[in-house]
Structure 1
């Protein structure tokens, strides 16, 4: 019979999970084991962000293992740090779970968090455990980061005349989600994997900051939705070119068809690639590609355009009742 949380004490569970979470980061002076972690803060300033995943809303056990959930929650937090131009320096992990939850699922979660954190160049430094109501499992990660002496890159810095560039993929996570939803996962396992375990281009965030990016954002909720956030914050319009997105769409057509592929690229969420604006094409670092330009609003509302036409909506919304 599978061991469940109700069968072990908190100390026994921690003894199983902490070794899976451990890693090495020279900026962590004291990790799990005391009342708090102890971290260096570099120049005295640091980044902090948090994301939460809830079973049945952010993942389904029929699709995702505990290890998948661990990978994804680290990816989405570290992508937020990278989108400011920073590097992650430590993660706090909270797990609230129904006592009927299998211990092996929790071990998988810890293993996924540990593996993904090490790949991001950091580690888990502590956290919290809590019981929860029947059927509830919630995982939350708070990530800390360093700008290494730089100023953070904000959403509000885009300027008319900038080029818009992306680092990473577009639409693959949404395509994987669609295949899972339609019970067609076997049609493109690589797309399914992109949804279950996204791999953000974390090192491109600090690189963009060093190259003078004017604005930047993590593409967590879809290209159109997140580009619109830069536009509104900056008082400009980001004009995306479908010609420059043609290869992204073409890569998804065999699995989805033309129309669905185009929508995944423009509005698909949970990609965790990075979108930024730069002064000119020559400023765009290797690993980034131009997909549009920034225009003055000229009396129109700030936001996002696609081929010169206003576009909004789509993407991931936590409170969308249709999901």
Structure 2
């Protein structure tokens, strides 16, 4: 059955029937708007858009995997502010001939990723469109803490990373060359493993700045550098390239550090901390904040590839 056969309201009924609530969901789908608890009295809010052919391909990823990716892109942004996500709003623009099961499975992926942080999909909208597009808005709570912004990094701070990096970019390259292995890399592209816990943990440790690495480590650290008015130097040797990535890079003729330093879609969190902050093994120290401006690798500009993703480049 196509979504056109199901009809707008039939499709909405099918999708919402697959969505569970969360403790912060006071009123979920079915009314003019949802009602979400905001215990902190402030709401973290962010939006991402995924367009077929630009952000995902249906021959590369299942609907469930696209749902996970769409949710993760937003939930990670909330975590990067030091918050915990509470709700998602989803806009789905779809060609009329889309199989209704694809939309249902997309909802399954969105809901499953939300469950990882105790959030829920609470509403959204559906429209016909020649291009399959998914627009997601996330809401979150800071738990009484100030937000961790991009503009607080200070000279002398440590730069540390939580989560894996380079895997999804490597998987995207593998898929783009027509291969389906190594499995670990391809699956990393299809479904990110985001360290959501790291955002509130960094805030509790006194992080001076933080960002979600969605478009490439060096590019996203550049946002922190500009906002804070500092220089950031990354140590290349801080990263251990796993065997699967090293082997794939050798087979494809790619420098694996291009994936690590300039690749996106893994959504790890990178934060700056005052020197002496007691970081546990979940955080990898990858560099330091200096006086000056810009982002360097081992004290030099990284010229091997563009720094990261740019929709208009």
Matching of residues 101-140 of structure 1 within 5 Å? 101-133=98-130, 136-140=131-135
Segment drifting more, 46-55 vs 249-258: 249-258
Tell me if structure 2 keeps the 8 A contact 1:169–1:271. Answer: yes
Given candidates 42, 45, 55, the residue that maps to 2:42 is 45
Given candidates 12, 31, 35, the residue that maps to 2:32 is 35
Q: Which residue of 2 aligns with 1:22?
A: 20
Matching of residues 155-174 of structure 1 within 5 Å? 155-174=150-169
Q: Which residue of 2 aligns with 1:208?
A: 202
Q: Which residue of 1 aligns with 2:217?
A: 223
Q: Which residue of 2 aligns with 1:184?
A: 179
Cα deviation, residue 281, structure 1? 4.3
Q: Which residue of 2 aligns with 1:307?
A: 298
Looking at structure 1, the residues matched to 232 and 266 of structure 2 have their Cα atoms a distance apart, in angstroms, of: 19
Given candidates 78, 81, 98, the residue that maps to 2:75 is 78
Q: Which residue of 1 aligns with 2:94?
A: 97
Given candidates 4, 7, 12, the residue that maps to 1:6 is 4
Is the counterpart of residue 273 in structure 1 residue 268 in structure 2?
yes
Looking at structure 1, the residues matched to 254 and 236 of structure 2 have their Cα atoms a distance apart, in angstroms, of: 13
Matching of residues 289-308 of structure 1 within 5 Å? 289-297=284-292, 302-308=293-299
Given candidates 52, 55, 58, the residue that maps to 1:61 is 58
Unaligned runs of 5+ in 2: none
Unaligned runs of 5+ in 1: none
Q: Closer, same or farther in 2 for the Cα pair 1:281/1:175, shift >3 Å?
A: farther
TM-score normalised according to structure 1 size: 0.92
Render the CA deviation track for 1:5-26: whole Å, top value 9, x for unaligned. Answer: 1111222212211122223x21
State the superposition RMSD in angstroms: 1.4
Cα deviation, residue 249, structure 1? 6.0
Cα deviation, residue 282, structure 1? 3.4
Tell me if structure 2 keeps the 8 A contact 1:278–1:284. Answer: no
> What's the secondary structure of 2:107's corresponding residue?
helix
